[in-house]
Chain A
Amino acid sequence: MIEDCRKSAAFRSDSGQFAARELLSHAVTTLGHWNLAASKREIIEIVLAEALNNVVEHAYREEDGHPIRLALTMQNDILKCIITDEGNPIPGGKAPCGTEPVLNVPPAELPEGGFGWFLIHNMAESVHYERLGVGNALTIRFSVV
């Protein structure tokens, strides 16, 4: 008989200045309980931070008090994270591919943003965005071997 080693956890917060911090704190604590290495937890925390910041800033346009949910599932050395919200869709209907920041410019023209999707795609195994009815679902997978 195959041992069922599936683990899962889910959290919810309301959009606002500290929503991402709150959800990240729950997630990082849970991943610690699941014995993920600190270096893996760091990577996952940055990726989830970027995705959650996008929800607060873009899906909800900095409006407070709207639900953000984060579900974590770990099975067979794959961690699946699903972030759902009830905000505006991502323009174009798909997750931006995230190009590398352009840094060979005069200091005054250096980018102060736009690194988020680049970091997400670089640090995660896979990213999948779906518009579901009145909400968004972003599924991010990490290999945790």
Chain B
Amino acid sequence: MDMTGRIEGRLQIVTVNEPRIDAAVAIQFKDEMRTHTMDGPSRVILDVSQVEFIDSSGLGAIVAAMKQLGPGRKLDLAGLTPAVDNVFRLTRMDSVFTLYPSLDAALMSAAG
């Protein structure tokens, strides 16, 4: 699964370069997240602006990725497309994660 990580200031940014986070790639997603967030900043932003589709397995994988960060670290999401946003709201996961409309908005919140 194509994902890239970079550090910007005090933020770890992980970008999903794929159109889907679904059952077919849920395990790979968790593994990639573990690799990219093994150490580094305590706040992680997951950039999902290229993701057009997520199912409950993908959602579960994001929850698992948040848990594997451990206490004291935080996972936020940025750039949710309408279909992804819909699944987060229906399952009320929007109450668990901080969601930003774009990566810029997430970066701005960290700078402010």
Chain A residues packing against B (C-beta within 8 Å): 17-18, 20-21, 39, 42-43, 45-46, 49-50, 53, 56-57, 100-101, 103, 107-108, 110-116, 118-119, 122-123
A-B contact pairs, 21 of them (CB 8 A): A17-B24, A18-B24, A20-B22, A20-B23, A21-B20, A21-B24, A39-B82, A42-B82, A49-B55, A50-B56, A53-B55, A100-B91, A100-B92, A103-B92, A107-B66, A112-B63, A112-B67, A113-B57, A115-B91, A119-B87, A119-B91
Chain B residues packing against A (C-beta within 8 Å): 20, 22-24, 53, 55-57, 59-61, 63-64, 66-67, 71, 82-83, 86-87, 90-93, 95-96
Contact of B83 among A18, A42, A56, A115 (CB under 8 A): A42
Dominant SS at the B interface?
helix
The reply to whether A112 and B90 contact each other, CB–CB distance below 8 Å, is no
